[in-house]
Structure 1
Amino acid sequence: MDIDTSYPDAWIIVPAFNEAQVIADVIADLRQVFDHVVCVDDGSKDDTADIAWRAGAHVVRHPVNLGQGAAIQTGVEYARRQPGAAVFVTFDADGQHRVKDVLAMMERLSKGDVDIVIGTRFAGTTVSHTPPLKRVILRAAAVLSPSSHRLHLTDSHNGLRVFNKTVADNLNLTMNGMSHAGEFITLIAENHWRVTEEPVEILYTDYSMSKGQPLLNGVNIVFDGFLRGRMRR
């Protein structure tokens, strides 16, 4: 991608756990476009943090593994303290997300009628390459979550999100693991943040699939989101 670095008000938050194999390429791709990338090393046992720093990222470290939700919260707290920070992006460290999708989502946010844009694999004309079993779990999570259903979201567990400072300043994720995604949606509903989806493509590689969550975790995410929504009514 041959694009000049710009977007000085945007901060890209990359939660990472044992991603030494791919983190350099992920950070390098982002740094071709964005001035500010913060990698939250979530207690990695490998060289993820050092590699990310050499690739040009700000690096914040958790001494132990706390989970993706905690890493995102740490990254947002770091970014929202920076002068001029106005746009915030959560971006996975395993190479599944595309910079061009971030730019499209930022363009959508810039219209000013929404506070947060969430990527979706299941809307628009984008062809979803999501593995069948994963697709069933993700669609079930969106349908069974009261907040997702109320907000008309089709892919509530998509990790690619772009949001403004209103969301960043008030974000308070307390669920450290993968179930933070459901909590994020609940916070959108509770805080009446204006939300929309943008079609994105997820790049499923052998590496990224090897990092995926077991089926049992996927089922837990579905029921966690359902129960959390029921309890907060």
Structure 2
Amino acid sequence: MTQQHIDFADTWLIVPCYNEGAVIGEVLRNALQTFPNIVAVNDGSHDDSATHIHAAGAHLVNHPVNLGQGAAIQTGVEYARAQPGAKYFVTFDADGQHQVKDVVRMVERLRTEPVDMIVGTRFAKGKESAQVPWIKRVVLRTVVLLSPRTRRLGLSDAHNGLRAFNKRVANEMNIRMNGMSHASEIIGMIDSHSWRVTEEPVDILYTEYSMSKGQSLINGVNILADGLVARRLP
């Protein structure tokens, strides 16, 4: 076991996965070099994602049918929070967009600062990422404008899937929305549970592969629609 593994033995990465067989193995092998505890939730994939997850050495949990990203994250949180010694938790995308170096900073901040959750942002003042595709930029900015709660919490990137949080948050997290609206639901839980939250500027790697899966105009419309639905949640 390396020193990196010893340092992060109390941390669990939670990776929701749906038809990511082309890249999931490489994503997991890279992350496992720093974080030895990863649970990947295979959310009813029709491809060979489960085979690659198992071969990479991550913990594998299977949904027999596709339930949506929110459900996959909730399953992963429940699995990880039950593990002995688990103190810190990170939601991490399966498509290669998230960077391990950002996770390291976020977890170290959780250890030393009086916060319960750190949310990645592509729109930090003075550090806005120029890599964000224009459609995505417009959609994400609009989501924040439509959410007074998000603005009140001081968050600029509500749909950033890279989040690090402590055991208190993991124990209290109960995601009910299965689609993309789980991100807005998490914002609601931050507010209702009074979780102490802050942001961390992160680099999102937009590859041809990841953009083909999640950057379309239709996807943007779905995010906006789900966000409006989530606003009605208590």
Shorter-chain-normalised TM-score: which range? over 0.9
Equivalent in the alignment of 2:201: 199
Q: Determine what percentage of the aligned residue pairs are the same residue.
A: 58
In the TM superposition, residue 231 of structure 1 has moved relative to its aligned partner by: 5.5
Whether 2:178 is the aligned partner of 1:176: answer: yes
Whether 2:227 is the aligned partner of 1:219: answer: no
Equivalent in the alignment of 1:5: 5
Greater CA drift, 100-109 or 59-68: 100-109
Q: Give the letter for the 1:68 counterpart.
A: Q
User: C-alpha distance in 2, partners of 1:52/1:211?
Assistant: 19
Q: How does 1:107-186 map to 2 (within 5 A)?
A: 107-124=108-125, 125=127, 127-186=129-188
Q: Give the letter for the 1:121 counterpart.
A: R
Tell me the TM-score normalized by structure 1.
Answer: 0.94
**228 and 51 in structure 1: CA distance in 2 versus 1, 3 angstrom threshold:** closer
User: C-alpha distance in 2, partners of 1:221/1:35?
Assistant: 32
Equivalent in the alignment of 1:87: 88
User: C-alpha distance in 1, partners of 2:29/2:233?
Assistant: 42
Equivalent in the alignment of 2:58: 57
User: C-alpha distance in 2, partners of 1:35/1:57?
Assistant: 8
Q: Give the letter for the 1:210 counterpart.
A: S
Q: Deviations over 1:48-107 (max 9, x none)?
A: 111111101000000000110000000000000001100000000000000000011112
Aligned positions, number: 231
Equivalent in the alignment of 1:14: 15
In the TM superposition, residue 110 of structure 1 has moved relative to its aligned partner by: 1.4
User: C-alpha distance in 1, partners of 2:177/2:106?
Assistant: 25
User: C-alpha distance in 2, partners of 1:44/1:219?
Assistant: 24
Q: Give the letter for the 2:100 counterpart.
A: V
Greater CA drift, 103-112 or 115-124: 103-112
Whether 2:191 is the aligned partner of 1:189: answer: yes
Q: Deviations over 1:156-192 (max 9, x none)?
A: 0000000000000010000001111111111101111
* Conservation of the 8 A alpha-carbon contact between 1:3 and 1:32: no
* Conservation of the 8 A alpha-carbon contact between 1:182 and 1:221: no
SS of the equivalent of 1:110 reads helix
Equivalent in the alignment of 1:71: 72
Q: Give the letter for the 2:5 counterpart.
A: T
Tell me the TM-score normalized by structure 2.
Answer: 0.94
* Conservation of the 8 A alpha-carbon contact between 2:121 and 2:202: yes
User: C-alpha distance in 1, partners of 2:86/2:130?
Assistant: 32
Q: What residue ranges of structure 2 are gaps of 5+ in the alignment? A: none
RMSD: 1.6
In the TM superposition, residue 213 of structure 1 has moved relative to its aligned partner by: 5.3
User: C-alpha distance in 2, partners of 1:117/1:43?
Assistant: 29
User: C-alpha distance in 1, partners of 2:216/2:149?
Assistant: 24
Q: Which 4+ stretches in 1 moved above 6 angstroms?
A: none
User: C-alpha distance in 2, partners of 1:28/1:220?
Assistant: 31
Equivalent in the alignment of 2:28: 27
In the TM superposition, residue 3 of structure 1 has moved relative to its aligned partner by: 7.5
SS of the equivalent of 1:34 reads coil
In the TM superposition, residue 230 of structure 1 has moved relative to its aligned partner by: 5.2
Greater CA drift, 2-11 or 76-85: 2-11
**106 and 4 in structure 1: CA distance in 2 versus 1, 3 angstrom threshold:** closer
In the TM superposition, residue 150 of structure 1 has moved relative to its aligned partner by: 1.2
